[in-house]
């Protein structure tokens, strides 16, 4: 009876996390819309700055420039992939990496439309990067690196991710107090992979953790 309760509880938490990730994706899309509008408005701002300079209103021009410099840094949206879901998600994670001084190397070639569901892409990629960031920030600043390759080839999505670690990973079992919640990210990740007749494996040495995933496009 107790095992059934724990299993049901784990399922509830997994579903809740997936719903939260979908909601997070929606919020990110809203933020990206704001960014696009912001970039559209920059032209008007530059016209005003130019007018101030021509009329020698240098202090006013400087005030607008200072504001723009801060806003542009926040509004920067990188083009990681043609796939909107992947691009949006990695932009969010990349901003976290920058704050933690993590070097991010990537090679992402995925078309705009594939049959893998958005919620599954979100669950898989966000779990990989969340775990990678959590492990990498424990390393010295000189050794913080994450690399991610995501390729779509011949109807299959191939993911390879490597990240710096402090010590070799022996197993993926949790050693944290809240067993129900910690590790469920990996369970949902592997569950999504299985839904697409996929395969996965991981390996580790003393300085690097690597995970590989292959998922078959359901339309093939």
Beta strands in the chain (DSSP E): 103-109, 145-153, 156-164, 199-204, 208-216
Question: How do residues 155-180 score in pLDDT, each as one tens digit?
Answer: 899 999 999 999 888 776 654 444 33
State the pLDDT at residue 185.
58
Query: Is the predicted pLDDT of residue 105 greater than 50, yes or no?
Result: yes
Q: What percent of the chain has pLDDT over 90?
A: 31
State the pLDDT at residue 13.
55
State the pLDDT at residue 28.
62
Please tell me whether the overall predicted TM-score, pTM, comes out greater than 0.85 for this model: no
Query: Is the predicted pLDDT of residue 214 greater than 60, yes or no?
Result: yes
> What are the Cα distances from residue 214, in Å, to 96, 100, 110, 124, 149?
26, 29, 13, 11, 12
- Name the maximum alpha-carbon separation found in the chain: 79
């Amino acid at each position: 009876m107790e095992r059934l309760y724990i299993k049901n509880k784990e399922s509830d938490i997994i579903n809740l996390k997936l719903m939260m990730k979908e909601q997070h994706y929606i919020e990110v899309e809203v933020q990206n819309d704001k960014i696009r509008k912001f970039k559209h408005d920059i032209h008007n701002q530059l016209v005003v700055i130019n007018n101030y300079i021509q009329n020698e209103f240098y202090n006013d021009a400087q005030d607008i420039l200072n504001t723009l410099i801060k806003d542009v840094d926040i509004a920067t949206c990188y083009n990681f992939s043609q796939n909107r879901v992947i691009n949006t998600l990695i932009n969010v994670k990349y901003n976290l990496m920058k704050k933690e001084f993590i070097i991010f190397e990537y090679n992402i070639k995925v078309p705009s439309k594939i049959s893998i569901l958005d919620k599954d892409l979100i669950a898989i990629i966000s779990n990989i990067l969340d775990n990678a960031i959590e492990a990498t920030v424990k390393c010295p600043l000189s050794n913080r690196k994450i690399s991610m390759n995501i390729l779509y080839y011949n109807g299959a999505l191939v993911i390879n991710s490597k990240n710096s670690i402090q010590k070799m990973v022996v197993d993926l079992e949790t050693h944290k107090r809240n067993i129900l919640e910690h590790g469920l990210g990996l369970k949902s990740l592997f569950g999504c992979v299985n839904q697409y007749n996929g395969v996965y494996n991981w390996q580790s040495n003393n300085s690097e953790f690597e995970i590989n995933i292959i998922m078959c496009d359901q339309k093939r």
